[in-house]
Amino acid sequence: MKTYKLKISILVLSFIFFWVPVSWASLNVVTTTSDLASIVKEVGGSLVKVESLVKGYQNPHYIQPKPSYMVKMNRADLLIYQGLELEIGWLSTLIEGARNPDLRLGQTGHLDASTGISRLETLESEVDRSMGDIHPSGNPHYNLDPENGFIIAQSIYNKLSELDSENATKYKSNLEKFNSKLEKKIIHWKNLMKPFKGTKIITYHKLWSYFAKRFDLNVVNNVEVKPGVPPTTKHLAKLTALMNREDIKVILQSTYYESDFAKMVAGRTEAIILVLPSFVGGTPETTDYFSLFDTIIQKLTNNLQPST
């Protein structure tokens, strides 16, 4: 009787300890950012289970390498990250701690989504940390140029069809669907943004470079004096003067920054602060890569003055 009870309790205990939810999807993907997860969903469809570690409303520079992320990565077949040092403060700790040999650098389950992206603001000349939180290999916010969506989707397609070659044709047709939808959307977005060509704006952090380049906005200066470094009063005074002189009416800022400094500047100019999502999920209505741009562009077109 006693051994019977023991057996039962061992059974129950091992069930509690070793029970892992079974998923019917053939590939389990973890991404660092939500834009990558959204594109994986488009290309992978129902064949892929995907989760983003960073939520769209969180600041990817300040994520803590929580051991619970290691558990997710331990169970994953594929890790996709944004790269260009966006995740430098925490991803290496997670890859080590996940103890999943497939996800390590150079292994099949490791994908740097920045491969093939035309980078902006790469620093070929000398750099040091007196320049703030700089990313010498390029600005990592390339997800905000929808044209880069094609490149990211292609990389994801290549990887998915490599890991799961049986379903390659399915991934291919998903990719084509995504591409043709994105093509149409980009034409639409460009048309919406056309009247604002060349409009001068201020951004809080150097986060909108790719977006501004694609849609012909002119980022004149930033509220931060250096990336990641809060502005000095001198810089704010200079910025205020510049904005009044050049009649700059808009400050763009991502949802995850405090807007105290931007408000100071806005108070002394006639500018408004536009708080925009910078990743999918940054605001509730940005549910995928398309609605992210729908939201950003709608907010911009409602608030920018057409350049005449």
Partner 1 sequence: MKVFTILLLILFFSSSNAWSSSEYEKLEKRIRVLEKTKTKSNASSTATGLSNRFNPALSVNGLLLGTFNDQGNYDSSKEVRTGLKIQELEIRMAAYVDTYLRADITLAFEGTTDFEVEEAIAEALLSKNLSFRAGKFLTAFGKHNQLHTHAYPFIDLPVVNEEILGEEGLNEIGVGASYLLPTNWFSEITFQALEGANTNQFNGRAGSDFAYLIRQNNLWDLSEETTMELGGSYVSGKNNLDPTSTFDNKTQLVGADLTFKWKPSGREAYKTWIWQTEFIGSFREQTQEGWYTSLQHQFAKEWWVQGRYSGYSIPNGVNKEDKNQWSALLAWVPSEFSAIRLQYNHLNQKTADENQVLLQLNFTLGSHPAHKY
Q: Looking at beta carbons only, is 193 or 243 nearer to partner 1?
A: 193
Asked if residue 244 binds partner 1 (CB under 8 A), the reply is: no
Q: Looking at beta carbons only, is 17 or 24 nearer to partner 1?
A: 17
The SS3 call for residue 28 is strand
Number of residues that bind partner 1 (CB under 8 A): 67
- Classify burial at 1, counting beta carbons within 10 Å of its beta carbon; exposed 0-12, middle 13-18, buried 19 or more: exposed
> Least separation, in Å, of the C-beta of 294 and partner 1?
20
According to CB under 8 A, which one of 26, 93, 240, 301 is a site residue for partner 1? 93
Asked if residue 67 binds partner 1 (CB under 8 A), the reply is: yes
- Give the C-alpha separation, 41 to 36, whole Å: 9
The SS3 call for residue 170 is helix
Asked if residue 88 binds partner 1 (CB under 8 A), the reply is: yes
- Give the C-alpha separation, 71 to 65, whole Å: 11
Cα angle 86, 92, 96; round to 5: 155
Transcribe 80-116 into DSSP letters: EE--TTTTTTTHHHHHHHHT-GGGSTTSTTEEETTTT
The side-by-side arrangement of strands in the sheet containing 200-203 is: 218-222, 200-203, 250-254, 272-276
Transcribe 171-230 into DSSP letters: HHHHHHHHHHHHHHHHHHHHHHHGGGTT-EEEESSTT-HHHHHHTT-EEEEESSSBTTBP
CA dist list (Å): 184 to 142, 178, 278: 20, 10, 21
CA dist list (Å): 262 to 28, 171, 205: 41, 44, 11
> Least separation, in Å, of the C-beta of 104 and partner 1?
8
Stretch of residues binding partner 1 (CB under 8 A), selected from 4-12, 18-26, 168-176, 263-271: 18-26
Stretch of residues binding partner 1 (CB under 8 A), selected from 81-89, 159-167, 194-202, 232-240: 81-89
Task: List the x/- string, 185-224, binding to partner 1 by CB under 8 A.
Answer: -xx-------------------------------------
Q: Looking at beta carbons only, is 144 or 243 nearer to partner 1?
A: 144
End-to-end CA distance of the chain: 89
Asked if residue 165 binds partner 1 (CB under 8 A), the reply is: no
Tokens of 45: 């469809």
Stretch of residues binding partner 1 (CB under 8 A), selected from 2-10, 102-110, 159-167, 235-243: 102-110
Stretch of residues binding partner 1 (CB under 8 A), selected from 36-44, 179-187, 263-271, 289-297: 179-187
The radius of gyration of the chain's CA atoms, rounded to the nearest angstrom, is: 22
The SS3 call for residue 289 is helix
Q: Looking at beta carbons only, is 248 or 256 nearer to partner 1?
A: 256
According to CB under 8 A, which one of 25, 151, 219, 225 is a site residue for partner 1? 151
Asked if residue 86 binds partner 1 (CB under 8 A), the reply is: yes
> Least separation, in Å, of the C-beta of 184 and partner 1?
10
Q: Looking at beta carbons only, is 222 or 255 nearer to partner 1?
A: 255
Asked if residue 127 binds partner 1 (CB under 8 A), the reply is: no
Positions in the binding site for partner 1 (CB under 8 A): 17-21, 55, 57-59, 61-68, 70-71, 74, 81-93, 95-97, 99-101, 104-105, 110, 112, 114-116, 118-119, 122, 129, 133, 137-138, 147, 150-151, 154, 183, 186-187, 228-230, 255-258
